[in-house]
Amino acid sequence: MLALVAQPGHAHTTRIEEVPAVQAREGEVLVRTLEVGVCGTDREISEGLFGIPPQGEPVLVLGHEALAVVERTGYGFTRGELVTATVRRSCGHCLACAEDAPDSCLTGDYSERGITRLHGYARELVAEDPAQLVVIPKSLGRLGVLAEPTSICERALRHARAIGGRQPWQLERALVLGAGAVGLLMTYLLRLAGVEVWTASLEPENDLVEHSGATYVSTQDGDLSELGKFDLVVEAAGNAQLMARTLGQLRRNGVACILGIDPRRQTVEIDGRVLGVDLILENRVLFGSVNAQRRDLLAAVADLDRARERRKPGEAGFRVGELIPGESAAFVRLRKVLRRRVPAARALRRPRPASRSRRRPRFVSPRRTRRARRGRT
Ligand code: BGC
Pocket test of ligand 1: the residue of 64, 145, 154, 258 to mutate, having most ligand atoms within 8 Å of its CB, is: 64
Which pLDDT score, from 0 to 100, does residue 319 have? 76
Q: Is 374 within a domain?
A: no
Q: Is 369 within a domain?
A: no
Which residue has the CA at smallest separation from atom 2 of ligand 1? 291
Among the three residues 266, 288, 310, which one is the final residue of a domain in this structure? 288
Q: Is 225 within a domain?
A: yes
Residues 145, 6, single domain; the answer is yes
**254-310 pLDDT per residue, tens:** 999 999 999 999 999 999 999 999 999 999 999 999 999 999 999 999 999 998 887
Pocket test of ligand 1: the residue of 290, 293, 376 to mutate, having most ligand atoms within 8 Å of its CB, is: 290
Which pLDDT score, from 0 to 100, does residue 49 have? 92
Overall domain count for the chain: 2
Q: Is 219 within a domain?
A: yes
Question: What Å distances lie between residue 366 and 121, 221, 245, 246, 363, CA to CA?
Answer: 47, 7, 20, 22, 10
Atom of ligand 1 nearest to the CA of 40: 7
Residues 230, 144, single domain; the answer is no
Residues 47, 176, single domain; the answer is no
Q: Is 341 within a domain?
A: yes
Domain of residue 281, CATH code: 3.40.50.720
Which pLDDT score, from 0 to 100, does residue 314 have? 52
Which residue has the CA at smallest separation from atom 3 of ligand 1? 291
Residues 201, 136, single domain; the answer is no
Residues 256, 166, single domain; the answer is yes
Residues 228, 277, single domain; the answer is yes
Residues 19, 131, single domain; the answer is yes
Answer with the residue of higher pLDDT: 331 or 88: 88
Q: Is 363 within a domain?
A: no
Please name the helix (run of DSSP H) or strand (run of DSSP E) that holds residue 2, with its range, or none.
Answer: strand 2-6
Give per-residue burial for 127-153: e unless 16+ CB within 10 Å, then b.
Answer: ebeeebbbbbeeebeebbbbbbbbbbb
Q: Could you give the residue ranges of the DSSP H alpha helices within 225-373?
A: 240-245, 272-273, 279-281, 294-309, 334-340, 344-347
Give the N- to C-terminal CA distance of the chain in Å, as an integer. Answer: 29
Q: Is 359 within a domain?
A: no
Residue 244 pLDDT > 50: yes
**137-187 pLDDT per residue, tens:** 999 998 999 999 999 999 999 999 999 999 999 999 999 999 999 999 999
Which pLDDT score, from 0 to 100, does residue 374 have? 38
Burial class (CB in 10 A: 0-12, 13-18, 19+), 203: middle
Which pLDDT score, from 0 to 100, does residue 363 have? 25
Residues 144, 278, single domain; the answer is no
Answer with the residue of higher pLDDT: 377 or 89: 89
Confidence class of residue 321 from pLDDT cuts 50, 70 and 90? confident
Domain that holds residue 182: 150-288
Q: Is 367 within a domain?
A: no
Atom of ligand 1 nearest to the CA of 292: 9
Residue 69 pLDDT > 90: yes
Residues 141, 177, single domain; the answer is no
Which pLDDT score, from 0 to 100, does residue 106 have? 98
Residue 369 pLDDT > 90: no
Which residue has the CA at smallest separation from atom 4 of ligand 1? 291
Residues 186, 270, single domain; the answer is yes
Which pLDDT score, from 0 to 100, does residue 308 have? 84
Residue 365 pLDDT > 90: no
Atom of ligand 1 nearest to the CA of 103: 10
For residue 112, the CA-to-ligand 1 centroid distance in Å is 8
Pocket test of ligand 1: the residue of 43, 44, 87 to mutate, having most ligand atoms within 8 Å of its CB, is: 87
